[in-house]
Amino acid sequence: MATRTAYRTCPLCEAGCGLEISLSTQSDGSEVVDRIRGDQKDVFSAGYVCPKGATLKHLHEDPDWLRQPVLKRDGKFVPVSWDEAYETIAAKLQPILKEHGRDSVAIYLGNPNVHSLANSLYGRALIMALGTRNRFSASTVDQRPKEISASLMFGGPSIPVPDVDRTDFLLMLGANPHASNGSLCTAPDFPGRLDRLQKRGGQLIVVDPRRSETAKRADEHIAIRPGTDALLLAAMANVLLTEGLADPGHLLEYCDGLDQLPALLAPFTPESVAPATSIDADRIRSLARQMAAADKAVVYGRIGTTCQEFGTAASWLVDIVNLLTGNLDTAGGAMFATGAVGQASTKGKPGAGRGFRMGRVKSRVSRAPESFGEFPVGVLAEEIETPGEGQVRAFVSVAGNPVSSNPNSNRLNAALSSLEFMVSVDPYINETTRHADVILPPPTPLQKSHYDYVLLNLAVRNVANYSPAVLPLEESQLPESEILLRLAAVAAGQPANAAVTASLDESAATLMLESSVQDEYSSVAGREIDELKAELDSRRGPERLLDISLRTGPFGDGFGSTPDGLSLKKLEESPHGVDLGALQKHRIPELLRTPDGKIQVVPEMLLPEVERLQQALGRELNGELQLVGRRHIRSNNSWMHNIGVLTSGKNRCTLQIHPDDATRLGVKDGAETRVTSRVGELVVKAECTDVVMRGVVSIPHGFGQHEAGVELRVAREYDGVNTNILTDDEFVDEICGNVALNGVPVTVTPA
């Protein structure tokens, strides 16, 4: 019988749904989870949950989830104590650092870091302690182009989100929220929000090379050739400008460079982009007119527009079309969320800032540009393979599975096996971590507290939601904040013990408070750090840092100056979350961080991109097909295929191919089919279906966990392939090196 109900935000994807978790007490006093369902009272998700939400129980009970560190001895992983694990790491890492310098160690941070409070707050401490330039993350197989385009335009990475709850017209490119639940747009029950948009008479138009689950339910699906979204958007902007439909509304006075747009986009007429995009010129023209005519309209682009050859240009043009149609920074358009943490107080902040720079440092081998302090993941393998000063000899992965998620997997796989030392902070022995010498496992999601430190800054409502851990740690486990801080201690040449990590934690809190009291616009400007620290009770670790962020944030209690404001205590008393209202319009100019306090409509860095786009107008395919990805509601990138209830049923890892292409190439439905790209080759079952347009094939990512040494008993058996064997580390969005995972040229033959 259930004896307790706990509430917890689901940390698995960006939607952040509220969960209601029923537990019962066993005869030995321990608790087990009986059931997980949507929390009807959650202020944001109101009971919505997808099939993955309930599997937090399965993750917690998964026998393959490591409960204590493991160390590789004679090629086999054996359990060891935390002390032994860290001693080994120190013994291996320190000599490499001493002999070859800080850059000889690379670090990769994967996607779950942004879904973990501890990692969002302490990942940086580890990076600083390592002191390497060779930093990588999943961001460069994901949203980096959007971060760059937004930073160039607005001076900082403020990314506008579509105001789905109030818009009348949503033009969605390269996103499939019916599977993904949305991204760079935190919106629990995204599908329900789209239904409501249509029910109130609004329109949803989906642009995608595949008739995705979202496209099927849209008012219209427009099939587009992969990689050509920037051309479509440039042509729409061109129509708006030439037909006198462009009107940025209240933003006009904050625009710098608007007058350059007409000449710049003149070559991109609907007629000129029609062949490349394979969208009718008349439809492009009417789409622009529809956007202009709608009272509240918004363009939203996601993975299909960022993980492609022209990701940065497409991301920029999404915001240009929103700007030109008067839909940027207004209700029902593209709006800026005000997160309760992670943003400084917004009161009274002037627009001017230092602006955005990238490429200050270049990677050693192929001179790829740094952005946000990271190199693109596409160059990781060559940094390991290429001898010479600065060669990467040791590797740290935290919550990442790059062998599965990064391009040219075979190459990266081989590179990782050549390392002198590798340590992974990860619960599983998978394609990547099997190469590690030591694996440090985090607690399960039910054993961690949660606040979505990063993604609530991209939500369609202003919301704050904290959940304490539901279940206690086992004796053999450590909190993930402690795991990361101990690793930081070792990297800094200090002992990995609780005294050292307590002092690192103290410094983190002091630093955070320092930057607030020194900020003249902060609610605690000029106050004493010790006085503020005294107010933080006995909190330590992520909870203390979160409390500081909340209290000094835009909705915070200012440590007493705004007594009704937010604090962690207030969130603890609100298990269903705190609703802070609809997104606020007219955040511009206050949020701009450009040097002149204006929107850079035509960032100089993008001028060569426009030229590159022009060259793409006349491009033809040499009889190759273009490979794109896809997601399924019961997947989560590469790491949840070990949960049987999520992998049961029909095989999902198929090559979708249009029946006309299949006939032409002699490919039979259900038959083993060979797919070859510049870098790799694999054999996969074909699924002949007209959901993909002619000339396009699709394979989902995250499958193919059969490699020797992988200890995932369910996932190993799944009949799937790793599509990133085909994706190409040299096929990138040139401006930032973000990998073009979509639109990869491939040939297809019967196997």
Which positions touch ligand MGD (CB under 6 A)?
13, 110-112, 116, 138, 141-142, 173-177, 179-181, 183, 207-210, 212, 224, 226-227, 229, 302-305, 307-308, 398-402, 404-405, 425-428, 430, 442, 480, 628-633, 635-639, 701-702, 723-724, 727, 741-743
Phi-psi domain of 256 (left: phi exceeds 0; alpha: psi -120 through 50; beta: other): beta
Residue 212's binding partner among Mo ion, ligand SF4, ligand MGD, none (Cβ under 5 to 8 angstroms by kind) is ligand MGD
List binders of Mo ion among 142-201 (CB under 5 A): 142
Q: Which of these ranges, 50-58, 257-265, 320-328, 404-412, lies near ligand SF4 under the rule CB under 6 A?
A: 50-58
Residue 225 vs 461, nearer CB to ligand SF4 = 461
Which residue number places its CB atom closest to ligand SF4? 53
Residue 207's binding partner among ligand MGD, ligand SF4, Mo ion, none (Cβ under 5 to 8 angstroms by kind) is ligand MGD
Q: Is 108 helix (H, G, I), strand (E, B) or coil?
A: strand
Residue 120's binding partner among ligand MGD, Mo ion, ligand SF4, none (Cβ under 5 to 8 angstroms by kind) is none
Residue 36's binding partner among ligand SF4, ligand MGD, Mo ion, none (Cβ under 5 to 8 angstroms by kind) is none
Measured between alpha carbons, how far is 677 from 723 in angstroms, rounded to an integer?
Answer: 11
Name the minimum Å distance from CB 53 to ligand SF4.
Answer: 3
Residue 486 vs 551, nearer CB to ligand MGD = 486
Residue 195 vs 259, nearer CB to ligand SF4 = 195
How many residues bind ligand SF4 (CB under 6 A)? The answer is 12
Residue 53's binding partner among ligand SF4, ligand MGD, Mo ion, none (Cβ under 5 to 8 angstroms by kind) is ligand SF4
Residue 52 vs 551, nearer CB to ligand SF4 = 52
List binders of ligand SF4 among 51-80 (CB under 6 A): 52-53
Which residue number places its CB atom closest to ligand MGD? 304
Name the minimum Å distance from CB 333 to ligand SF4.
Answer: 25
Name the minimum Å distance from CB 467 to ligand SF4.
Answer: 12
Name the minimum Å distance from CB 672 to Mo ion.
Answer: 30
Beta strand 461-464 with 578-582: parallel, antiparallel or unpaired?
Answer: antiparallel
Report whether 168 contacts 296 (CB < 8 A). yes
Name the minimum Å distance from CB 158 to ligand SF4.
Answer: 23
Residue 527 vs 641, nearer CB to Mo ion = 641
Place of tokens 């708006």: 240
Q: Which residues, other chains included, contact 413 with Cβ-Cβ below 8 Å and sequence gap of 6+?
A: 403, 431, 435, 707
Residue 318 vs 739, nearer CB to Mo ion = 739
Q: Which residues, other chains included, contact 700 with Cβ-Cβ below 8 Å and sequence gap of 6+?
A: 629, 630, 631, 632, 635, 652, 653, 723
Residue 535 vs residues 121, 153, 204, 569, 683: alpha-carbon distances, Å? 20, 39, 49, 12, 61
Name the minimum Å distance from CB 16 to ligand SF4.
Answer: 5
Residue 188 vs 680, nearer CB to ligand SF4 = 188
Q: Which residues, other chains included, contact 124 with Cβ-Cβ below 8 Å and sequence gap of 6+?
A: none
Residue 227's binding partner among ligand SF4, Mo ion, ligand MGD, none (Cβ under 5 to 8 angstroms by kind) is ligand MGD
> Residue type at 103?
D
Which residue number places its CB atom closest to Mo ion? 142
* Cα dihedral value 339, 344, 348, 351, nearest 10: -90
Q: If binding is defined by CB under 6 A, does position 640 make contact with ligand SF4?
A: no
Measured between alpha carbons, how far is 641 from 714 in angstroms, rounded to an integer?
Answer: 7
Name the minimum Å distance from CB 341 to ligand MGD.
Answer: 19
Give the side-chain half-sphere CA count within 13 A for 22: 8
Beta partners for residue 397, in sequence order: 108, 424
Measured between alpha carbons, how far is 210 from 167 in angstroms, rounded to an integer?
Answer: 24
Residue 12's binding partner among ligand SF4, ligand MGD, Mo ion, none (Cβ under 5 to 8 angstroms by kind) is ligand SF4
Q: Give me the count of residues in the chain.
A: 751
**CA gyration radius, the chain:** 25
Measured between alpha carbons, how far is 246 from 322 in angstroms, rounded to an integer?
Answer: 10
> Residue type at 725?
I
Name the minimum Å distance from CB 645 to ligand SF4.
Answer: 13
Residue 13 vs 488, nearer CB to Mo ion = 13
Q: Which of these ranges, 15-23, 136-144, 434-442, 733-741, lies near Mo ion under the rule CB under 5 A?
A: 136-144
In the stretch 3-42, what mask flags binding to ligand SF4 with x, by CB under 6 A?
A: -------x-xx-xxx-------------------------
Measured between alpha carbons, how far is 112 from 126 in angstroms, rounded to an integer?
Answer: 16
> Residue type at 45?
S
Residue 96 vs residues 93, 393, 488, 651, 677: alpha-carbon distances, Å? 5, 8, 16, 45, 36
Q: Label each residue of 387-430 as H, E or C.
A: CCCCCCCEEEEECCCHHHHCCCHHHHHHHHHCCCEEEEECCCCC
List binders of ligand SF4 among 130-189 (CB under 6 A): 181, 188
Provide φ and ψ at 343, rounded to 5°.
-125, 140
Place of tokens 């042509």: 235
Cβ neighbour number for residue 91 with a 10 Å cutoff: 11
List binders of Mo ion among 295-324 (CB under 5 A): none
DSSP 8-state symbol, 233: H
Residues that bind ligand SF4 (CB under 6 A): 10, 12-13, 15-17, 49-50, 52-53, 181, 188
Residues that bind Mo ion (CB under 5 A): 142
